[in-house]
Amino acid sequence: MMSEGSNEDRFLDEGEENVDRISLDELHQRSPERPSRLSLSGRNLDDFLEAGFQATKGQPPTPVSTLPHSSSYNSISSDIVGQGDAVSNRHFTATETSSHRIPLSAFRKQWRYWCLMLTLGVANSSDATEILCISYILADPVFQKTVQKDHGAGLLAAAVFLGMLLGGLLVGTMGDWMGRKPTLLLGLVCNALSGILFSLAPNFYVLSFLRCVAGFGIGATIPPLFTLATELAPPSARGFCTTVIASFWMVGSIYVALVAMWYFKEMKGDDDSAGEKGYLSATWRIFALICSIPSALGATLVHLWIPESPRFLGLEGRSEEAVEVANSLVNKMSGGTNDSCSVLPLTIEELERTFPASALRNLEDRQRQQSQSYLGFESGSNTNEVLGFLHTAGSDFVSSTSKLYEPNLRRTTFSLMLVWFSLSFGSYGLMTWINIIFEKVHLEDIYFNALLFAAANLPGNLLSAIFLDKVKRSTSLVTSIVCASASLVLFAISASVEAPFGIVASACLFQCFTVVAWNTIDTMTSELFPTLVRSTGWGICAASARIGALIAQFVNGALVDNPVQLLLANAGTLVIGAVTPCLLQGVVGDMTGRPVQDDLQSTTVIRNGSLYANGAQNTS
C-alpha cells in the first residue's frame, strides 16, 4: 500500500499480476503504442466514474483480456477502461473534462450505460401519465355526466397532490436508509396498482381515494429517481443525465395526449349511450387503464436493469457491493473494454477514500439508533417486526429531516423549498386545468392543442441538454422562470382578446420554459444536498411542491370560469420562484461539474468556495 501523499502510480503489465511503480512524468512520456492500465493513488469514486465516461472520447475501444481474479477488484469479470490522462487531475470540473460536447460515437459505445438512464426516464414518464391523465378525464363529457355530477372537480384534481405530499415526505426519507432502488420500485408498483384499481372504482369517493394512492406512489418515486440519476452519473455529465431522464416527462405527456386524442374522439359518438350506463361506462375507465401501462413497464425495467447507488452502498458500509456496482457502471460507460487506453477497476481502498470520516461516523450513529429502535419489539412475531420497522422509519425520518435545518444547510433547504412551491403552483397547478382552460377560451380542437402543449416539452429539454452544464444553475433557473411567467402574461392577454394563435403559442412557450426550470431545479436539488440526506432533502422539497400544487387546485378551481385571472395568479406565483435563487448567492458555490458531497461537513467546505471535494481544504 502506498503512503499518503505519494506521487507514484501503479500499472499492471499485460498478463502479469505484479504491480510496478512509475512516476507521473514517466507515465506521461509513454508512447501511445505501449498503453498501461492506470490506478492513481489519489483516485476516488468521482474520479473513477469521470475517467470511465471520458474513455470513449479517446481512441476507439477494442476487446481486452480479463484481469486475474483479485479480491480487491471484487471479482469483476472484465477490464474497465479509460484514458490515463483523463484521471491525472483528481478534481474534475466541466471545463476540465470538456464534457459539454459528447461525440455521437461515444453514445454508440456507451449504449449500455444510456439504457440505464432511459430506464429511469421510463419511470419518470409514468409520473407524467398518472398526473396528467386526470386533466383529460375531467374534461370528458361522459365522466362529467356519469361520475362528477355535483361533486367538485377540484377535490379529485387535488387528491393526487395530497398523496404526492405524503409519499414524498414518508418514502423520501426511506431512500436514505433502505436504499434508492427499493423505494423507487415501491413507488412504481403503487402507481401501477392504483391506476388499475382506479379504472374499476365504483364511485367518486373511491376514485378520489385511489388518486391519493396514485399520488403517494408518484411522491415516493421522484426522490429516489433523481437521487439515482445524480449518483450514477459522472460529475461532468450530471446535468445532461438529469435532463435526459427529466425529458421523459415529455414522453409521458405526449403518450397521454395521443391516447386521449385518439380514444376520446373515437368514443365521442357514444356519449349518450354511455350516459345511460352511469358508472358502468367504460370510456374513461379504459383510458385510465391504458395510462397505468408506463408505471408497470417502469417497475419491470427498474427491477431488471437498475443497480443500487454505489454512493449509498459505500456510505452503508457495503463496500464490496459498491465497488462491484461502480466497476459495472464504468464498464458500461467506457463501451466495454479497451486495450489502447485503460483504467484499473476501482478498489475498496479507493472507494473508502471517497467518503470522509465524518460521514462514516454518521453511519455508525444511525446504525446504533436503528438497533435501539428494535429494542422492546421481540423478534419472531410479524407484528413486532412491522412495529420495529415503523419505529425505525419514524426515528430516521426525524433524524434525517432535522439535519436539513442545521445551520450549514438551513438556508439552502428553505430557499429550495420556496422555489419548488412556487414553480409547482405555477406549472403543475396549471397543467391539470389546461384542457378546461382551452375550452373556456373557445379553442376548437382541445385534444390537438393539448398535444402541441405536450410537444412543447421538446425545445425545453433541448435547451436544457445544450446549456445546463455550460451556464450557471442559478442563471438558468432565474431566466427560465421569468420567461415562463412572461409567457403566462402573454397567454392572459391573448385569452382576453380571444386570439387562438396567441393562446396556443404562449401556452407552448410557457411549457417550454417551465421544462427548463424543472430540469435545472432537479439538478440543483440533487447537487446541493449531501449523500447522507439527499433523498430526504428531495422528499422535503417535493413535499413543498405538492403543497403548492394542492393549493393551486382549489385556487384554479375557483378561478377557472375567469381564465385571465387564473393565468395572472399563476404568473405572479412564478415571480416569487424567480427571486428566491438570489438567496442562494454567496451561500453555495456553483456545483456544475463538481463531485457531489457526502456529509454535512464537506458541504460547508463547498459553501466557503473550495474547489476540493470530500471536506479537503483548499490551502493554495
| Residue range 279-332, pLDDT digits in tens | 445 678 889 999 999 999 999 999 999 999 999 998 888 889 999 999 999 888
In a domain? residue 384? no
Q: By the 8 A CB rule, do 567 and 510 touch?
A: no
To the question of pTM greater than 0.85 for the whole model, the response is no
pLDDT surpassing 80 at residue 159: yes
Are residue 33 and residue 67 in the same domain, yes or no? yes
What is the structure's pLDDT at 284?
A: 85
Q: By the 8 A CB rule, do 97 and 236 touch?
A: yes
Are residue 123 and residue 94 in the same domain, yes or no? no
- For residues 80-86, average pLDDT: 32
In a domain? residue 54? yes
Instruction: Provide the grid cell at 242.
Output: 438529469
**Across 30-44, 468-482, 590-604, least confident range:** 30-44
Are residue 91 and residue 24 in the same domain, yes or no? yes
What is the structure's pLDDT at 209?
A: 93
Are residue 138 and residue 52 in the same domain, yes or no? no
- For residues 235-259, average pLDDT: 89
Are residue 134 and residue 15 in the same domain, yes or no? no
In a domain? residue 235? yes
Q: How many angstroms from the chain centroid is the CA of residue 523?
A: 8
Are residue 431 and residue 558 in the same domain, yes or no? yes
User: CA-CA distance, 181 to 187, in Å (whole number)?
Assistant: 10
Q: What is the pLDDT of residues 549-594, one digit of tens each?
A: 889 888 888 888 899 999 999 999 998 888 877 665 555 556 666 7
The CATH code of the domain that includes 187 is: 1.20.1250.20
User: CA-CA distance, 216 to 127, in Å (whole number)?
Assistant: 11
Residue 80 pairs with which residues in a beta bridge? Answer: 343
User: CA-CA distance, 192 to 187, in Å (whole number)?
Assistant: 9
In a domain? residue 390? no
- Residue 178: Cβ within 10 Å count: 19
pLDDT surpassing 50 at residue 614: no
Which residue range forms the structural domain that includes residue 35? 8-106+334-354
Q: What is the pLDDT of residues 444-463, one digit of tens each?
A: 888 888 889 988 989 999 99
pLDDT surpassing 80 at residue 181: yes
Report percent pLDDT > 70 for the chain.
68
Residue 342 pairs with which residues in a beta bridge? Answer: 37
Rg of the chain's alpha carbons, rounded to an integer?
Answer: 26
The 3-state DSSP class for residue 405 equals coil
How sure is the predictor about 387, in pLDDT bands with cuts at 50, 70 and 90? low
In a domain? residue 397? no
In a domain? residue 376? no
User: CA-CA distance, 57 to 80, in Å (whole number)?
Assistant: 15
pLDDT surpassing 60 at residue 265: yes
In a domain? residue 574? yes
- For residues 135-148, average pLDDT: 80
Q: Name the more confident of 344 and 286.
A: 286
How sure is the predictor about 212, in pLDDT bands with cuts at 50, 70 and 90? very high
Residue owning grid cell 483528481 = 90
Q: By the 8 A CB rule, do 229 and 202 touch?
A: no
Highest-pLDDT range among 1-10, 25-34, 327-336: 327-336
Are residue 348 and residue 222 in the same domain, yes or no? no
pLDDT surpassing 50 at residue 24: no
User: CA-CA distance, 81 to 93, in Å (whole number)?
Assistant: 20
Are residue 469 and residue 500 in the same domain, yes or no? yes
User: CA-CA distance, 36 to 398, in Å (whole number)?
Assistant: 50
φ, ψ of residue 343 in degrees (nearest 5): -135, 130
Alpha helix (H) ranges present in 355-499?
A: 357-373, 382-404, 407-426, 428-431, 434-440, 446-455, 457-467, 473-496
In a domain? residue 543? yes
Are residue 228 and residue 123 in the same domain, yes or no? yes
What is the structure's pLDDT at 299?
A: 96
Are residue 123 and residue 231 in the same domain, yes or no? yes
Are residue 208 and residue 83 in the same domain, yes or no? no
Name the domain count of the chain: 2
- Going by C-alpha positions, the residue among 173, 107, 160 that lies closest to residue 394 is 173
Are residue 461 and residue 444 in the same domain, yes or no? yes
φ, ψ of residue 23 in degrees (nearest 5): -85, 160
pLDDT surpassing 80 at residue 429: no
What is the structure's pLDDT at 405?
A: 87
